[in-house]
Amino acid sequence: MESVILAASECDVSTEIICAPADVLELFYFKDALFSIGDFHFTRTVFLIFLAMFIVLALLYFGLRKGEKVPSKFGAAIESLVTFVKDDIAVGIIGPEGAKYAPYLLAVFMFVIVGNLFEVTPLINFPITSRMAIPLFISVVTWVIFVFVGFKKNGIRYFTDLVWPKSVPVALRWLVGIIEVVSTFLLRPLTLAVRLFANLVAGHLMLTLLLASGWIFMSSVGDIGLRAVIGLPWFVFGLAIYVFEIVVAVLQAYIITLLSAVYVQTSVHPEH
Amino acid sequence: MVEELKGAIALVGYGLAAIGPGIGIGIVVGNAIQAMARQPEAAGMARTTMFLGIAFTEALALIGFVLFFIA
């Protein structure tokens, strides 16, 4: 956000209609560390990761606290969220043995939904899942789980059935095998990570550009006169996108959890 | 000259990569709505499968998005 405003205010708004930042990729650079302990640089992103962790822990701790005979409204809401992940996603997709994957799926769901909703939280306005490291780490953990479960449940047949599928005509088996191996071991974790990353980066950029350009146009009424009127539609459009981004944040958290469950399911029952 | 055009070409490439998934997601969602309208009692299952179909169809557009940044 700051970089866009800086880049836009550096250019001469009285002569140029559109101020392009000198280098769009500067939006993706890491900012200076708040403080450093050795090689560990504590940036704003790291701070928000820890904040998300504590929010998730607090939600689950206070929501599922023992001792209350009648759960409060808040407790009931958290409980229905946990039940949703456990029954609809874990058991619903993976099957009866899916209950033991429910803690991992719940952790992913809660962390990603809190991280995504940082995008539309006032004063934070930065989704931590738009840093590639976090979606990539989640998808690598999912990758390790489904490959490990696949080999544990099916032995070496998990791999050989992928490379040399018996259900396909012999002449085509090598081709299907190549496609299956590439899509299972390379494209699955890549798309799982990039889907979350791309949705959040696109939403964050859109919000930043629309709201910031609206703000810049409107806050310089005296300088540019009529052009300030242009800023108002941008600001209203930005607010509409703001509501849309709340839906996207929840939906993407649901989708990454759902797909993690589906990938585990294909390892538990490879024949389906 | 080529260096100046590189970003623009990558942008056009992403636009082209988004055409196929756009059509595909339209087909997926359209058929899912039809299934939900015909059998409202199976709406939950249709919705889950729809999200899965969207997620797999979207993958091509996402690869295009990554290539846009790499190029």
pLDDT digits (tens, 9 = 90+) for A206-256: 888 888 878 777 776 666 666 667 778 888 888 999 999 999 999 999 999
Which residue, A130, A135, A136, A138, is CA-closest to A44? A130
* pLDDT at res. A140: 95
Give B69→chain A minimum CA distance, Å: 9
Yes or no: say if A127 and A246 are a contact pair by the CB < 8 Å rule: no
A262 vs B63: CB contact, 8 Å cut-off?
no
pLDDT at A205 over 50: yes
Yes or no: say if B2 and B53 are a contact pair by the CB < 8 Å rule: no
Contacts of B67 in chain A (CB under 8 A): none
Question: Is A245 or A17 the better-scoring residue by pLDDT?
Answer: A245
Mapping DSSP to helix (H, G, I), strand (E, B) and coil, where does residue A41 land?
strand
Note the pLDDT tens digit of each residue in B24-69: 999 999 999 999 999 999 888 888 888 888 888 887 887 787 777 7
Instruction: Work out the mean pLDDT of chain A and round it to a whole number.
Output: 83
* pLDDT at res. A234: 84
Rounded to whole angstroms, how far apart are CA atoms A212 and B22?
A: 29
Contacts of A255 in chain B (CB under 8 A): 51, 55
pLDDT at A96 over 80: yes
Residue carrying structure tokens 């636009």:
B15
A70's tokens = 């009648």
Is B63 part of the contact surface with chain A (CB cutoff 8 Å)? yes
Q: How far is CA B12 from the centre of its chain?
A: 16
- A257 to chain B: nearest residue by CA? B52
Which residue, B32, B56, B22, is CA-closest to A259? B56
Mapping DSSP to helix (H, G, I), strand (E, B) and coil, where does residue A135 land?
helix
Tell me the pLDDT band of A268, cut-offs 50, 70 and 90. Answer: confident
Give the nearest partner residue to B58 out of A190, A195, A262, using CB atoms: A195
Q: Supply angle C-alpha B46, B51, B55, rounded to 5.
A: 145
Give A138→chain B minimum CA distance, Å: 17
